[in-house]
């Protein structure tokens, strides 16, 4: 069981490459949420991919190179808050496996101990208590496989949504099933991936929720693309943006 530290004065912010490329506003919203907790947020511009695509494709040596390049950027002993459970799982769990028995194992493990997914950090470190300023609405949430099974942060994401008095959280059928993205899986097995996302979008739509949220942009890209292709009006957004909007905050553009 993970032991959580006291709330720090400073954190590093790991935006993830997908947020950086497709939804930088979600990154800014997440930074604002952290700053509202009285935390100084440090963003290292040289950060890139966490190495998960190489690792999940079996390229361990290349993944290790990427991991070491990222670890070197976050040299101060501050928490590293990650805007994705999938990337968080790679950095918190799989970096350890990559370097087991390596001469750099201790250094890598010390870094892994400092990695937290955003909702996990807000709930278990900041102990946030949200006040909902929005109109009544209903939402359905999708959680990535890594976020659910490796980081267990579907629990903390749900807790944050449940703090919002005017938000009804609806549960989809087969909630824990994959959306079919899986990074390179969707490229290597497109027909299987398509069948999986068709199931996922059907279950999401069947809730008749007004909004769809997720804390993982990889899944959102896949799900939103499928919804658009199907001609459906539902679109997903990052949980950080939804939380900031509901609590009446405004980002620093």
Residue 186 has a pLDDT of 86
What average pLDDT does the segment 87-91 reach? 97
pTM: 0.95
What average pLDDT does the segment 224-235 reach? 96
Residue 29 pLDDT > 60, yes or no? yes
Residue 153 has a pLDDT of 96
Spatial separation of the C-alpha atoms in residues 19 and 81, rounded to whole Å = 14
Terminal CA-CA length for the chain: 38
Residue 187 has a pLDDT of 85
Percent of the chain with pLDDT over 90: 93
Say which residues have a Cβ less than 8 Å from residue 120's Cβ, sequence separation at least 6. 88, 151, 153, 156
Read off the pLDDT of residues 174-206 as tens digits, 9 standing for 90 and up.
999 999 998 788 888 999 999 999 999 999 999
Spatial separation of the C-alpha atoms in residues 164 and 83, rounded to whole Å = 21
Residue 169 pLDDT > 90, yes or no? yes
Residue 249 pLDDT > 90, yes or no? no
| Residue 154: C-alpha distances to residues 7, 120, 123, 159 (Å) | 21, 9, 12, 9
**Helix (H), strand (E), coil (C) string for the chain:** CCCCCCCCCEEEEECCHHHHHHCHHHHHHHHHHHHCCCCEEEECCCCCCCCHHHHHCCCHHHHHHHHHHHHCCCCCCCCEEECCHHHHHHHHHHHHHHCCCCCCHHHHHHHHCCEEEHHHHHHHCCCCCCCCCCCCEEEEEECCHHHHHCCCCHHHHHHHHHCCCCEEEECCCCCCCCCCCCCHHHHHCHHHHHHHHHHHHHHHHHCCCCEEEECCHHHHHHHHHHHHHCCCCCCEEEHHHHHHHHCCCCCCC
In terms of CATH architecture, what is 137-246? 3-Layer(aba) Sandwich (3.40)
Spatial separation of the C-alpha atoms in residues 36 and 55, rounded to whole Å = 35
What are the domain boundaries of the chain? 10-124, 137-246
Spatial separation of the C-alpha atoms in residues 216 and 227, rounded to whole Å = 16
């Amino acid at each position: 069981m993970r032991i959580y530290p006291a709330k720090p004065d400073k954190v590093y912010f790991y935006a993830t490459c997908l947020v950086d490329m497709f939804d930088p506003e979600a990154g800014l919203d997440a930074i604002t949420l952290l700053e509202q907790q009285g935390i100084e947020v440090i963003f290292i511009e040289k950060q890139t991919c966490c190495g998960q695509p190489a690792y999940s494709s079996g390229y361990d040596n290349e993944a290790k190179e990427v991991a070491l390049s990222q670890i070197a950027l976050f040299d101060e002993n501050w928490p590293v808050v990650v805007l994705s459970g999938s990337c968080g799982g790679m950095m918190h769990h799989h970096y350890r496996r990559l370097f087991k028995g390596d001469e750099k194992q201790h250094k890598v493990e010390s870094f892994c101990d400092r990695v937290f997914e955003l909702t996990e950090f807000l709930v278990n470190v900041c102990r946030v208590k949200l006040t909902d300023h929005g109109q009544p609405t209903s939402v359905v949430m999708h959680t990535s496989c890594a976020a659910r099974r490796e980081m267990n942060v579907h629990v903390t994401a749900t807790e944050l949504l449940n703090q919002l008095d005017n938000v009804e959280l609806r549960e989809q059928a087969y909630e824990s099933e994959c959306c079919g993205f899986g990074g390179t899986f969707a490229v290597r097995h497109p027909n299987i991936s398509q069948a999986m996302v068709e199931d996922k979008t059907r279950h999401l739509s069947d809730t008749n929720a007004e909004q769809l949220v997720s804390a993982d942009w990889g899944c959102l890209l896949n799900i939103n693309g499928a919804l658009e292709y199907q001609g459906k009006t539902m679109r997903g957004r990052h949980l950080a943006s939804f939380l900031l909007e509901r609590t009446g905050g405004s980002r620093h553009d």
